[in-house]
């Protein structure tokens, strides 16, 4: 279910980027705290946010969530500040050594976020 929630958010993000960017960006950003709150709550309910979305082992759902959160941070820098447990989780996941090395690599930095160039 957690991953389904991530996918729901991804669909909203994709709709914004590919269909409503010019007319919907401001309202999308204003609504981000509401969209992010369920993930904050899931994390709080799981060991006070010290673990992952499901249990104490990282899963596909965590990587999927961190991927969309990274895109949202590009769209609206600092948007995770409204959800401090989610922000700490995000920072913790992207600091994992292999993921951190990839995120800092040229291979990653040269990849476009969206196919239409909008961010």
Which pLDDT value is given to residue 107? 87
Enumerate the domain spans of the chain.
2-109
8 A C-beta contact, residue 61 and residue 54: yes
Dihedral, 8, 26, 84, 48 alpha carbons, nearest 10: -20
Q: Find the mean pLDDT for residues 69-93.
A: 96
pLDDT tens-digit readout, 32-45: 999 999 999 999 99
Structure tokens at 106: 């040229």
pTM: 0.92
13 vs 20: CA distance, rounded Å: 10
Instruction: Break the chain down into helix, strand, coil percent, rounded to 5.
Output: 75, 0, 25
CB 39 within 8 A of CB 86: yes
What mean pLDDT is reported for the chain?
93
Residue 58 reports pLDDT greater than 90: yes
- Does CATH place domain 2-109 in 3.40.50.170? no
Whether pLDDT at 116 is above 80: no
């Amino acid at each position: 279910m957690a991953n389904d929630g991530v996918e729901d958010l991804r669909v909203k993000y994709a709709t914004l980027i590919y269909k409503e960017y010019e007319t919907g960006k401001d309202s999308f950003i204003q609504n981000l705290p509401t969209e992010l709150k369920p993930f904050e709550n899931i994390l709080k309910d799981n060991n006070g946010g010290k673990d992952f979305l499901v249990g104490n082992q990282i899963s596909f759902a965590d990587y999927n969530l961190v991927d969309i959160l990274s895109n949202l941070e590009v769209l609206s820098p600092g948007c995770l500040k409204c959800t401090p447990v989610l922000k700490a989780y995000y920072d913790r996941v992207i600091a994992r050594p292999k993921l951190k090395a990839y995120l800092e690599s040229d291979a990653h930095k040269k990849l476009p976020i969206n196919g239409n160039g909008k961010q």
